[in-house]
Chain A
């Protein structure tokens, strides 16, 4: 009788222990499933953002590339333009040097007279003052003869006077009315300055074509 009782109570106890184990195991399994579900949920939420992250990166990369390319093209064009500019400036400088040398030659005098005459005609003759650089002031200019020729062309009596004032120019002349109110600059320097745009265009055409 007592042995049977021991078996019964032991069975009850064993079953209770099994139930307890099962309760804990179920809880653990349910927790693991829940944690895995949460992990997957985290991945899913992040995955929803990935297309926009990648799209943004692609767009930024594209923009950066375009910007780098545009800067490179500007830089390359700038290098080409700078080189052209360097050569155009060199031609203009050399031309000025050649003009300086030319002013020392005997061929210069008729040119200077022509420049003075042109300026006087533009000013309309009458009493005019001629301004030259230090060197040109020493040349044997026949201003009276020149004045006569100008007067004939203009139809008005012209009188020319060499100014004591010396100008800092390569060559050519500045002619002014006696009161100094009207001035005609016909120096090489000013001719180059006036025609610079056109000259640069012509130089470029010759140099680079």
Chain B
């Protein structure tokens, strides 16, 4: 009978010990969850910011390419303008005297 009592006592003690282990595990699990909750917001923001920053980089690249293309077309337009100006000068040089005479005729007629 005494032995049986000893057995029950030992089992009870172990039960208490297991309860303590489980409680501690629950507490640790709770702590892990709470810490994660704090981390969750910053993780959300980091992912959000990173994705947006990649998109903005892409947008910048798009603008840069368009500007480069515009720069190329700009130099074509300006060069065409220069060519036109040269053609004008060539024609004007050739017809200069004729134009001066025409003015003189107009004034003196």
Contacts and interface: CB of A to CB of B under 8 A. Distances in A.
A37 B56 CA distance: 24
Given A26-B29, A76-B78, A16 B62 contact: no
Given A65-B70, A188-B107, A75 B96 contact: no
Interface stretch (A78-86, A149-157, A161-169): A78-86
Contacts, number: 220
A94 B66 contact: no
Most buried by A among B45, B48, B49: B48
A46 B25 contact: no
Interface residues of B, number: 72
Contact of A80 (B15, B39, B43, B81): B81
A77 B85 CA distance: 9
Contacts of A141: none
Contacts of B62: 54, 57-58, 61
A53 B91 contact: no
A31 interface: yes
Contacts of B80: 76
Contacts of A21: 25
Interface stretch (A123-131, A132-140, A174-182, A199-207): A199-207
Contacts of B100: 91, 94-95, 98
Contact of B7 (A5, A16, A207): A5
Contacts of A191: 107
B55 A53 contact: yes
A28 B70 CA distance: 55
Interface string A62-73: 101100110011
B103 A8 contact: no
Contact of A42 (B13, B51, B92, B98): B51
Interface in B42-62: 43-52, 55-56, 58-60, 62
A146 interface: no
A144 to B, nearest CB: 25
Which one of A1, A28, A38, A94 has the highest number of Cβ atoms from chain B below 10 Å of its Cβ? A38
A84 B88 contact: yes
A73 B41 CA distance: 53
Contacts of A54: 55, 58-59, 62
A101 to B, nearest CB: 11
B96 A72 contact: no
B32 A28 contact: yes
Contacts of B52: 46, 49-50, 53
Contacts of A199: 103, 106
A20 to B, nearest CB: 3
A23 interface: yes
Given A20-B21, A82-B85, A203-B103, 7 more contacts: A12-B18, A50-B52, A72-B78, A76-B84, A79-B78, A199-B103, A208-B95
